[in-house]
Amino acid sequence: MANILGKYRDVLETITIVKGLLKSAGFDLEEKELIHQVENIWSVNLQDKDSPFYTNGKGSTKENCLASAYCEFLERLGTGFFFFDYALDHLGEEGWLYSPDEVRVPNDNNYKKSLLNKKLWKFYDPNNVLESNAFLDSGLCNKESIISLPFTHNKGGVVNFPVELLRNIYASNGLSAGNSEVETLVQGVSEAIERGVKNYIISEGLSLPDIDRSYLVENDFIDTINEIESFGFSVKVKDASLKGRFPVICVLLINLENGSVLSSFGSHPIVNVAIDRSLTELLQGRKLESFEGFSSLSNNYDQVADEANLESHFINSSGILHYNIVKPINEEFTLWQYDKNTSDLDFLNTVLKKEGYEYFYRTKQIGDMWVSQTIIPHLSEIYPVEDLEYEYKNSVGYIRSFLKRDLDNDILLENIEWFNCSYISGDTRIVEYLGISTDEEHLLHSLLADEVELLLYIQQKNVDKIKYILNYQIDLSLVDKRRLGFWSGLNLAILDNDFDTLSVLYTKEIIKDIEMAINGVIPRRLFPLILDDYSDLDKHKKISGVYKKYRKLLL
C-alpha cells in the first residue's frame, strides 16, 4: 500500500508500529463504530477497554482511518493530555508527573523569571495581575512548585510553559503524532493554524469564495461530494485561505430541509490534503441518514463571536454560523501557492513568519513514532487568555482534600476563601470539576459545588451562611434525592429548631444527620470520605491504571 500523501511511512506499517507500542505498554484497544457510507470517507471510534479514554479516526480509506485513530490515541497519551482533567495527587511524587523532562519552578515571587519570556508574559498577563498560584497544577495537591514543560522556540531557545496554562488555554489544540519529528510538527502546526483561522472566520462572520467545481472534478473529489448530496444534502467546498494567506479549506454541509448548516475545516501545505481532511472530518462519527449537529444560521455577529459558541465549534462543530458563510461572494478562489521543492515545514514556517507569528513546540520520540504539541500565541488559543485570571483551578487539590478528611481550621478557611473568590457555578458536579472519576451510583458523583460550600460552613458552624445558601443560592431541585431530605430538613431546623415537628416529616436517620450538622459534624452517611489514593473508587482506579501504563510507555 502506498504512503498517505504528506506521510513518510506506509500506512499499514504505521498502524502496526503504533499498535505494538500501545500493546507493549498494556493497552487493549477496541475498534468500534466503523462507518463507511460514502466513497473515500471512513471513520472509526477507538476505545480503551480498561478506561474511559477513546479517540476518533477519519480517512479516505479504512487503513488511513485506522491510522488516524491509533495515532490520535498515541498523541493524547504520549503528550499526557489524557490526564489533564484528572486528579493525580496520589501519583505525582515519583520524580515527574507529565514528562521526565518537566521543570518544576518554585512557587514564589520570582516565578516569572523561569517561565515563558517577557514577550509571552505581556500576552498572557497584560495587566500583570496573575499570581504564581494561578499556575499551580490542578492535578496535584502541591503548593510548593509550578509544573512546566520545555518548548522549543522556532526562532531558537527553550521556554517553559506551565501545564496549567496549556490545560486552560490550548486544550488539545496542536497535538499530533507522526512517523517522524518533521511529520508530526507539520501536522501540529497545520492544526493550530486551522483552528485559529476557523475561529477568525466564524467570529467575524466572513463570506468565503467557492472552490470551482472544475477543480474538484479534476482532483477526484466530485464523486464523494455527489454521493453525500445523494442523501439530500448540499455540499459547498470553500476557500478559507483568506486570499492565499493560510493553507485552510472549509466544507459546508447544508440541510436543504431546514436551511441548517454544519462546517468542517482542514489545513495542510498540500491543497488536496486539506480538502480531504475537511471532507473526512465532516462525516467523522456521523451517519447521513440520522445526521445530527446542524445549527441554524444567525445574522447576529455577537452571537457567532461568543466564547461559548466558538467552544462548541472546537468540541464538535455544532456551534452557530453567520448567514454570510453561505452567501455567494463575487471573488475568485485564491489557493495558497505550494512549491513542491519546498518542504512542508518550511512552507508553514514561511506562512507564519509572513503573518508575524512565532511558535513554540515540544516533540517526544516514543519507539519509532513521534508526538508533539505546538503553540502559536495569538492564533491557536481555544479559550481566551483572560480565563487565566478568572477561571484557574489553583486550589482544587485542597478542595479535594476536603473529600478525604475533616480539615483543620486553617485549611477550612482556605477552602471557604476559594469558594468566595472562584467563578465556579453552584450546580457544577464537584468531583468532575476536581478531576475525580466516580461511578454514577456513588454518593459523591452528584455532589454539587453549592453542597460542598454548605459542608464547609457546617464544619465552621456558620449558621447565617448555611441559611443564606439554602434559601437564596442552591437549587434544591438539582440535588440528589438521597440528600434532598437532609438539606430541606436542615433548613427547617435552622429556621425553627422544632425537632418534634421534624420527626413527623423525616426518618430517624435524617433527623440524626441534621443534629450532627447543627453540631458542626458532617454526616458521612450522605457525604462519605474517599481514600487518598482513590483506591475505593473503581472508575478512578482505571485512570490510575492507564497512568501507570503511560509511565511505562515513556520510560
| Mean per-residue pLDDT of the chain | 92
* Better-predicted residue by pLDDT, 55 or 134: 55
What per-residue string of b and e applies to 251-272 under the rule 16 or more CB within 10 Å gives b? bbbbbeeeebbbbbbbbbbbbe
User: Does position 1 have pLDDT exceeding 80, yes or no?
Assistant: no
**How many other CB atoms are there within 10 angstroms of residue 475's CB atom?**
10
Identify which of 151-160, 330-339, 384-393, 495-504 has the greatest average pLDDT: 151-160
Q: Poorest-confidence range of 285-289, 389-393, 471-475, 540-544?
A: 389-393
pLDDT at 216: 96
Q: Which cell numbers hold the place of 295?
A: 445549527
CB 165 within 8 A of CB 84: no
* Prediction pTM value: 0.93
pLDDT at 4: 52
pLDDT at 330: 86
Strand partners, 160: 150
CA-based nearest residue to 397, from 145, 176, 98, 158: 145
* Better-predicted residue by pLDDT, 224 or 317: 224
∠ CA(216), CA(222), CA(223), 5° rounding?
A: 155
Grid cell 443534629 is found at: 515
pLDDT at 92: 62
User: Does position 393 have pLDDT exceeding 90, yes or no?
Assistant: no
pLDDT at 417: 82
How far is Cα 555 from Cα 552, in angstroms, rounded to an integer?
A: 5
∠ CA(450), CA(456), CA(462), 5° rounding?
A: 105
What is the rounded average pLDDT of the residues 324-338? 90
Residue 441 to residues 52, 328, 433, Cα–Cα distance (Å): 17, 53, 18
Write the pLDDT tens digit of every residue in 241-277. 999 999 999 999 999 999 999 999 999 999 999 999 9
User: Does position 191 have pLDDT exceeding 90, yes or no?
Assistant: yes
CATH 3.30.160.660, the chain: domain bounds: 207-338
CA-based nearest residue to 554, from 88, 30, 141, 94: 94
Write the pLDDT tens digit of every residue in 466-503. 999 999 999 999 999 999 999 999 999 998 888 888 99
Write the pLDDT tens digit of every residue in 292-309. 768 889 999 999 999 999
What is the rounded average pLDDT of the residues 41-45? 98
**Residue 278 DSSP code:** H
- Pairing relationship of beta strands 158-162 and 145-153 according to DSSP bridges: antiparallel
CA-based nearest residue to 76, from 57, 59, 100, 93: 57
| Contacts for 201 with CB less than 8 Å, ≥ 6 apart | 208, 240, 242, 250, 325
pLDDT at 419: 83
H helices of 79-127, in order, are: 118-124
Q: Which cell numbers hold the place of 365?
A: 520520540
pLDDT at 392: 56
With bands split at pLDDT 50, 70 and 90, how would you rate the model's confidence at 2?
A: very low
With bands split at pLDDT 50, 70 and 90, how would you rate the model's confidence at 5?
A: low
What is the rounded average pLDDT of the residues 79-86? 94
Write the pLDDT tens digit of every residue in 505-554. 999 999 999 999 999 999 999 999 999 889 899 999 999 999 999 999 99
With bands split at pLDDT 50, 70 and 90, how would you rate the model's confidence at 394?
A: low
Q: Which cell numbers hold the place of 298?
A: 444567525
207-338: in CATH 3.40.50.1820: no
| Contacts for 198 with CB less than 8 Å, ≥ 6 apart | 240, 248, 250, 263, 265, 313
